[in-house]
Amino acid sequence: MRVGRLESLGILSSTYVAARQVDVWLPESYQRTSSERFPVIYMHDGQNLFLDEISFIGVSWGMDEAMVRVERETGGKTAIIVGIWNTEGRIPEYMPQKPLEANPAILRNFLVEEGEPRSDAYLQFMVEELKPLVDQTFRTKSGVRDTYIAGSSMGGLISIYAVCEYPDVFSGAACFSTAWPVGEGATVEYLRSSLPRAGLHRLYFDHGTEGLDATYPPFQEDVDVILKKAGYTEGGDWMTCMYEGEEHSERAWRKRAHIPMKFMLCGSA
């Protein structure tokens, strides 16, 4: 990490899910004032966001540098980032639960392969326990218009699910390399009836063309059709981007992390 300040909230216990580490990144502008309040972006896989030495592949997202770029390109827009570390239960916690429960056969398969889905409990932890703590501890803009969520792969799935389940809490989701095939594509079908009303939220999706990402285009194309039918306007309240030659990794997400952050905060990329 090169800019801003990274603070640890320590290992937080929860009524709903296993305890986990949570870090909070504060932009330099936060430290220059004692009164200004800031939007908040909640991000999954928090150990991969800032520090190369603890990131999954030894390369972090470089979110501090991404936010500095956003601030520079927008004339001052920035945000606090809350990095929620994953646990051994990452897939059960990040797999949208209601789409599974609506499809008994798919749920049975998931139970055999991954265990009991825990995403509803994970979102309760975020909304009922973590967010109030962050809002009490830091100078945040706590309303829905200034609260966002983001993640990659399974983190992309739980991010769009969070906006659908809690549209009055999160006003935008950035979903990098969204793992649509997990759960046999059940989340795609869930979106047909569960997207929040268009015009109130900003949604970003992307994928590369290599590795796991090479399997995502058909699913994303279906999601794009669903968004259009729901009244979302591409380039307005929704973006889908394809990155030719990019893989499914922190290395790739680092290159484009600034794009959805700018879109969520400003409405343009």
Phi and psi angles of residue 24, each rounded to the nearest 5 degrees, phi first = -130, 125
- On the question of pLDDT at 76 being above 90, the answer is no
The residue extents of the domains of the chain are 5-266
Q: What is the pLDDT of residues 182-213, one digit of tens each?
A: 999 999 999 999 999 999 999 999 999 999 99
Q: What is the pLDDT of residues 218-233, one digit of tens each?
A: 999 999 999 999 999 9
- Predicted confidence at residue 220, as pLDDT, reads 98
Strands, E assignment, the chain: 5-12, 20-26, 40-43, 80-84, 147-152, 172-176, 202-208, 238-243
Helix/strand/coil for 201: coil
Q: What is the CATH number of domain 5-266?
A: 3.40.50.1820
- What are residue 11's DSSP bridge partners? 21
Whole-angstrom distance, CA of residue 188 vs CA of residue 219: 7
CA 184, 120, 137 angle in degrees (round to 5)?
A: 135
- What are residue 151's DSSP bridge partners? 175
Rounded to 10 deg, the angle between the 186-194 and 154-165 helix axes is 20
Say what the pTM is: 0.96
- On the question of pLDDT at 57 being above 90, the answer is no
Q: What is the pLDDT of residues 125-157, one digit of tens each?
A: 999 999 999 999 999 999 999 999 999 999 999
